[in-house]
Each structure stands twice: as structure tokens, then as C-alpha cells.
């Protein structure tokens, strides 16, 4: 009985190795192509903010109303702001994603679960939507298909995702690959709760207000007063050169 088990384990290991052989060269190829230029700009942005590169942890804060993704890094026991990346396209309106095909960008706390070097949108980072919180609320409300395949990606078009343009996604993608995608958190909110009161739409489910209170509490760790003057023209010139 042991031999079949050993053969099965060997087969599984060979399959995993084959999958790695397929994926890793593509990721390596993409990083070899884009990392030198992207990291030159990232290093300039970090130097401008007075933070050492590369960081250990990062937090992406996507704000629907302002159409930006803020980049914060954890350094010297606190979160420090590095840069705001413009969101070039994002469909939907304020409010969380509820079902497949509603074209809504999710709202909540997410992790990056995959880096796709072969994306149709240049490069992309897959979020773990729907997460446990999303599934729990969908189950209570009888929503069996809350949606899937939510990405932060390049290009200038999107349906339910965040399109950052190609230069923007190159920086974010390379950064996530450099530090490890498990070290990157993603917070997505309808509004900047550091500036606006926490209030869900009147017809929203109770859990939406609860989510917004959690998001507002989390955003307190990233004070607006701590945001740096962006390295725009100088860093943009560097990006253009590369």
C-alpha cells in the first residue's frame, strides 16, 4: 500500500514542479524587463519620502471617490506615505460589490493572492475577493455568486477592477513581487473616511455600515497630515527616460 502512496506523492511533486516551471520563467522574464526602470522610480519616490527601499510591508489604499491608490509603507514602527497613483478607470458607483456582473469595485480589506505576468491588461495583481467577510454576507442574503476575478491591473479600461495604466501597474507589480505579495495589504473604500463622515446609503444592508466603520478605524493609522508632497515632475521625468 505504501508504493502507490509514494508514487502519488512523487506525481504531485512533479506536477507542482511543472507548474512552477511554467509560471516562474514568465514572472522572471517580466521582472527582468520592467523591474530596473520601475525600481529606479520607486527608489526615487522612497528617497523623496525619506524611507529606505525596499520596504518590509506595504498598504495600498484605493479611494473610489478620489480615484487614487495611495502607497504607504511600514517603517520605524509607523506607516509612512510614499505616493498617490491615479486610477485611470474603474466602473460602478459607491458601495460594495454584491454579485457577478454588477461592474462594482469591491470595498473592504483584501490581500494580493496572485501576480499575473501574462495579463491581457499588461500586468495584474489578483485580489482575494470574495474574502471570508464577503462570503458570509453573501450567504446570509442568498447571493450565491458574489463575483470573482478582481484585479489591480494596467491599461486604461476596466469593469469591476482598478486600471492603473501601464507605468503605474509596473511600479506596483514590481514592488509586490520584490517584497512578497503576502506583505501587501489592499484597502478599498467608497470615500476617504479621514475627510468624510462614515455613512452608508439608506437602502444599504446593516453590514455595509459596519464595514465602513472598520474601514474608517483602519484609515486612522494613515493620517492625511503624514502625507508627503508627491515626487511628481522629477519622478515622472525619470520614468519617461526609462
Q: Which residues are catalytic?
A: 153, 161
Residues whose CB falls within 8 Å of the CB of residue 157, separated by 6 or more in sequence, listed in order: 89, 121, 163
- Phi, psi torsion values for 12, nearest 5 degrees: -60, -40
Question: Under DSSP, is residue 201 helix (H, G, I), strand (E, B) or coil?
Answer: coil
**CA proximity to 87, closest of 181, 158, 177, 12:** 158
DSSP-assigned letters across all residues of 97-159: --STTS-PPP-EEEEEEEEETT-TTSSEEEE--S-HHHHHHHHHTT-S------EEESSS--S
Distance, in Å, from the CA atom of 87 to the CA atom of 218, rounded to the nearest integer, reads 21
Amino acid at each position: 500500500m505504501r508504493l502507490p502512496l509514494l508514487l502519488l506523492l512523487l506525481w504531485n511533486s512533479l506536477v507542482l514542479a511543472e507548474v512552477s516551471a511554467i509560471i516562474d520563467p514568465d514572472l522572471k522574464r517580466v521582472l527582468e524587463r520592467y523591474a530596473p526602470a520601475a525600481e529606479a522610480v520607486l527608489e526615487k519616490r522612497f528617497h523623496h519620502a525619506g524611507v529606505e527601499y525596499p520596504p518590509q510591508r506595504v498598504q495600498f489604499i484605493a479611494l473610489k471617490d478620489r480615484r487614487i491608490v495611495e502607497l504607504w509603507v511600514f517603517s520605524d514602527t509607523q506607516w509612512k506615505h510614499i505616493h498617490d497613483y491615479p486610477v485611470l478607470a474603474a466602473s460602478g458607483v459607491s458601495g460594495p460589490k454584491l454579485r457577478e456582473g454588477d461592474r462594482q469595485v469591491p470595498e473592504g480589506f483584501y490581500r494580493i493572492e496572485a501576480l499575473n505576468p501574462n495579463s491581457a491588461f499588461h500586468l495584474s495583481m489578483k485580489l482575494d475577493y470574495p474574502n471570508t467577510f464577503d462570503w458570509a454576507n453573501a450567504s446570509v442574503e442568498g447571493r450565491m455568486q458574489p463575483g470573482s476575478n478582481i484585479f489591480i491591473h494596467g491599461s486604461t479600461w476596466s469593469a469591476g477592477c482598478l486600471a492603473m495604466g501601464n507605468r503605474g501597474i509596473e511600479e506596483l507589480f514590481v514592488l509586490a513581487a520584490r517584497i512578497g505579495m503576502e506583505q501587501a495589504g489592499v484597502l478599498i473604500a467608497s470615500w476617504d473616511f479621514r475627510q468624510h463622515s462614515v455613512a452608508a446609503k439608506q437602502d444599504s444592508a446593516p453590514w455595509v455600515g459596519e464595514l465602513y466603520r472598520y474601514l474608517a478605524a483602519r484609515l486612522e493609522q494613515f493620517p492625511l497630515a503624514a502625507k508627503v508632497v508627491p515626487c511628481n515632475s522629477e519622478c515622472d521625468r525619470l520614468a519617461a527616460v526609462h
